[in-house]
Amino acid sequence: MTKKVLDNFTVFLLSTLMNSKIDHISLFPNLAKKESHPIVQELINFFSNRDLTLMVSRAFERDHNLIPSSFFVQDEEILERTKLAISLGGDGTLLNTARFFMRQSVPILGINVGRLGFLTEFSSYQALDKLEELLEGQFLTTTRMRLKATHISAGQSQDYVLLNDTVIAKGGKSRAVKINLKVNGEYFSSYHADGVIISSPTGSTAYNLSCYGPILHPTSDAMVVNPISPHTLAIRPVILPGDSTVECLAENPDTTQKEDIFLTLDGQVSLRLQPDDRVLISRSEYPALIIANELHSFYATLRSKLGWVG
């Protein structure tokens, strides 16, 4: 493998990754996708025939009888013992998996049975063929910067860790909101817009891309600030260094109307902001480790998923 490739990937060998055997694997399946069911069964058979422990959160226990009860454990045990996580579904499933390990950097194998698949790099047959190598620690990962969003409300603060993006946006009414931004404590701008996206490099191909934002290489150390439908044509997305701290204060410019403003994290967790709430977005100290498919590159994925031809 060339030095250029090695510069883009971090090699995790068994001896250096955990100093111990990869013997506890957690599975995060999207059981709502019927395509995942035969793969779940294959994974259960694979791990049952080896001296390995496959763990599934009890949150999945009531959803389906596909998985024997002996595989279900408490979340605390998964967090404590997981050496390798398997995300089976689409990109949303992988985002859920990464958020589960928000304060840990656990290698995640993304198996795609979804529609888009920017994050889930392996097809089912590719992943099943590679399992033996994975369990020996013979795999590459991309180290993905994650964001930390700190929601400050009424003197209390709550931290969230996310892989894709933080979005502050209006509710259902067709009125703009005003969002005041500071970068590293310095006033940056005030957007009159439907909202603003603060995206990680990984999230640059998600909502940010739909709002005409730039695509960043997923291993970049940067973040994108991208206003949603701004009411001034001069307003454009901005790329900031990864060590920046962005502070957002959203307000309703029409004081005669009550407009709900929401904070949404990775498109999956949503909170209603109260007047004078602030949101601080910075780089998380816990990067995500996504197991890389050596048969594909980021550029090939862009060509394939976005239909680029030449």
Residues (pLDDT < 70) of the chain are 1-20, 63-64, 116, 172-174, 253-259, 310
pTM of the model as a whole: 0.89
Task: Name the catalytic one among 23, 63, 75, 91.
Answer: 91
What pLDDT is attached to residue 287? 96
What pLDDT is attached to residue 245? 98
Task: Give tens-digit pLDDT for 156-202.
Answer: 999 999 999 999 998 766 678 999 999 999 999 999 999 999 999 99
- Separation of alpha carbons 84 and 27, rounded Å: 9
What pLDDT is attached to residue 215? 97
Q: Where does 147-283 sit in CATH, by number? A: 2.60.200.30
91 given a catalytic annotation: yes
Task: Give tens-digit pLDDT for 112-160.
Answer: 997 767 899 899 989 988 888 888 888 889 999 999 999 999 999 999 9
What pLDDT is attached to residue 258? 60
CA 102 centroid distance within chain = 10
What pLDDT is attached to residue 9? 41
What pLDDT is attached to residue 195? 95
What pLDDT is attached to residue 304? 85
- Structure tokens, 257: 């109307």
Q: Where does 3-145+287-306 sit in CATH, by number? A: 3.40.50.10330
Residue extents of the structural domains in the chain: 3-145+287-306, 147-283
